[in-house]
A and B are shown apart, each in its own frame.
Chain A
Amino acid sequence: MKLNVPRLLLRLTCLLIAIWLVAPTLIVIPMSFAGQKSLAFPPKGFSLQWYENFFTNPQWIGSLIVSAKVALMVAVVATIIGTMAAIGIERMKGSAAGIIRAVLITPMIVPGVVLAVGIYAVYLDTRLVGTWTGYVLAHTLLAIPFVVIAVGANLAVFDARLETAAASLGASRLTTFFTITLPLILPGILSGSLFAFVTSFDEVIVSLFITSPQLKTLPVQIYSSMTRDADPTVAAVGSLIFLATSLIIGLGLIFGMRGRKA
């Protein structure tokens, strides 16, 4: 590439887009140390009161615990179900695989509110509104596509002849699965379960409909706080989530790179 003006323009454009993508995420961090109860930027003064509020107010810390528990259950259930489905799809022949795969991905596409209204209607009749089962079921539905995609991508590069080899050497089905298949598709399963956890932890639309004052998830609590008043506690929550995610992804990167070298 000889022309330098277009190249410079491209760089500038990309820089601006990168800022545009990242800035709204980072602006939350200084807000969380605000001295006053206001959302004016830049914040005036410095305090840790919003973090203190988050960790001491039962509304906030309670909803965090609810969200963490729900997301953990969803990660386990969706990963098992989704991995099974991905393996099933990979073993299928013909167009059936494509159809089932497309069907399993639809929860990502159905408009959130339509799904939420439908789930709310069914939950009202089955008394699942504001229950653990209700949250876990709904979030599992939304998490399954991510697991199917992640594990499916891993299975696509997996050499199925290894299984045949193990079987021909006399290994039982279960032995083959746990000693050959599982270790090889573990990266896909792990990233799938991480996606499942995040999907549940971050889900707000369906949760807003099926919530109850006794059992509230963190995004619902954040949402109701935002519609009530300008409370920087939300910024503190956002910063904490950002910190946690950065740590997980950082560890994942280090782990992933080591795995690739090995």
Chain B
Amino acid sequence: MPSKPAPRVLRGPLYLTLPALAVLVLVMAVPLGVIVLRSFMEPQPGLANYVWFFQTKVNITVLLRTFSIAFWVTLCCVLAAYPYAFAMSVVGPRLRLAMIMCVLVPFWVSGVVRTLAWVILLQDSGVINRLLLSMGFEKVRLIRTQLGVTIGMTQVLLPFMIMPLYAVMRGIDLRLLQAARSLGAHPVKTFLQIYLPLSLPGVFAGVTIVFILALGFYITPLLLGGPQSTMLSTLIQQQVLSLLNWGRGGAMGVVLLIATFGILAIASPFMKRKYQMSGGSK
């Protein structure tokens, strides 16, 4: 970036960010503070809500399930996004535009409607099951199962893996691969020793974003899942809206918050700064 001469215009950069920060404080910091406070104060001051959370078997099951679904979704996303992003970075401009379109089209219908599409596809008499039957396979229970939730969530989150991967892969100099090949390296070795390490920052960025977003998923597990695939978000909603237990719901919320930001804190040193969040906007 070229050095910026001290601008005479629009001096005082901090006050420009104040309105945005004010919204953040009022609509995010204060509400989250209320949640944390209630988790310790309701019904009585103390750690009772947290003790309850970690001593109740259902909660632990759901917590572990939330992590396991997030893990599988992230893994599926990496496996699907890697070849796709690689292809995007090597094809010609026209095909690349088409491939980008395919990544963006899912965003063109509202998120809730997309879940409806998955209900249609996954239901017992749905398209996928009839396809399986016609190919001679057995029917698989997809709707209201963990598998169904994983399939739906993977499709929703795939773009968040493809974009940061593509941003990194676009910058990899393919001549390095040619050089390795011309020196006699086997294609597999070339990939493992040269391409893979260079693409890792993108993998880390994508994995972090997808895993974090998956942990907090709410609508998809609610509509595609059943009692056997409840995730933490649903449990929080039940505590607060159905049982009116703000203390316990709050404690669960704090656990989810800590998990989310803990993972972010662990992962961020592995990501190159410029590929964080914005998916490499430069």
A208 to B277 CA separation, bound complex (whole angstroms): 26
A41 touches B216 (CB 8 A): no
B102 touches A144 (CB 8 A): no
In the complex, whether B145 has a CB less than 8 A from a CB of chain A is no
Is B10 in the interface zone, CB < 8 Å from A? yes
A229 at the interface (CB under 8 A from B): no
Chain B 97-114, CB within 8 Å of chain A: the 1/0 string?
Answer: 001001111111111111
| B114 engages A24 (CB within 8 Å) | yes
Contact partner of A222 among B83, B110, B250, B273, CB < 8 A? Answer: B110
Choose among B104, B126, B253 the residue that contacts A114 (Cβ–Cβ < 8 A): B253
Give the chain A neighbours of B264 by CB distance below 8 A.
109
A105-B80 in contact (CB<8A): no
Among B23-31, B44-52, B198-206, which stretch is in contact with chain A? B23-31
With A18-B102, A144-B24 as given contacts, are A111 and B256 in contact (CB-CB < 8 Å)?
Answer: yes
Interchain nearest-CB distance for B3 vs A (Å): 9
Q: What residues of chain A lie closer than 8 Å to B187, measured between beta carbons?
A: 3, 6
| CB pair B108 A249 closer than 8 Å | yes
The A contact surface, by secondary structure, is helix
* A204 in complex: contacting residue of B7, B33, B215, B219, CB < 8 Å: B219
The minimal Cβ–Cβ distance linking A68 to chain B, given in whole angstroms, is 13
User: Are A21 and B233 within 8 A (Cβ)?
Assistant: no
In the bound assembly, the distance between CA atoms of A92 and B13 in angstroms comes to 6
Q: How far is the CB of B208 from chain A (nearest CB, A)?
A: 10
Which residues in B have their C-beta under 8 angstroms from that of A223? 112, 219
Q: How far is the CA of A82 from the CA of B34 in the complex (A)?
A: 25
Among residues 152 to 204 in chain A, which have CB atoms less than 8 Å away from a CB atom of chain B?
152-153, 156-157, 159-161, 163-164, 166-167, 173, 176-177, 181, 198, 201-202, 204
Secondary structure type dominating chain B contacts: helix
Is A238 an interface residue when CB atoms closer than 8 A count as contact? yes
Scoring B residues 248 to 270 as 1 if CB is less than 8 Å from chain A, else 0, what string do you get? 01100100110011001000000
Let me know if B228 is at the binding interface, CB within 8 A.
no
B86 on interface, CB distance cutoff 8 Å:
yes
Binary contact readout B1-17 vs A (1 if CB under 8 angstroms, 0 otherwise): 11011011110011111
For the complex formed, measure the closest distance between the CB of A116 and the CB atoms of chain B, giving whole angstroms.
8
For the complex, give the distance between the alpha carbons of A121 and B34 in Å: 7
Interface string of B76-107 (1 = CB under 8 A from A): 00001001101100000000000100111111
A109–B107 CA distance with the chains assembled, in angstroms: 18
Give which listed residue, B111, B120, B223, B246, contacts A121 with CB less than 8 A: B246
Given contacts A21-B155, A205-B219, contact A13 B118 (CB under 8 A): no
Specify which of B80, B106, B115, B127 is in contact with A22 (CB 8 Å cutoff). Answer: B106
A115 within 8 A of B: yes
Give me 17 A-to-B residue pairs in the complex whose CB atoms sit less than 8 angstroms apart, sorted by A's number.
A14-B84, A24-B121, A25-B106, A31-B120, A81-B20, A87-B10, A113-B216, A114-B256, A122-B34, A156-B281, A160-B5, A160-B7, A167-B8, A181-B9, A205-B218, A218-B110, A219-B110
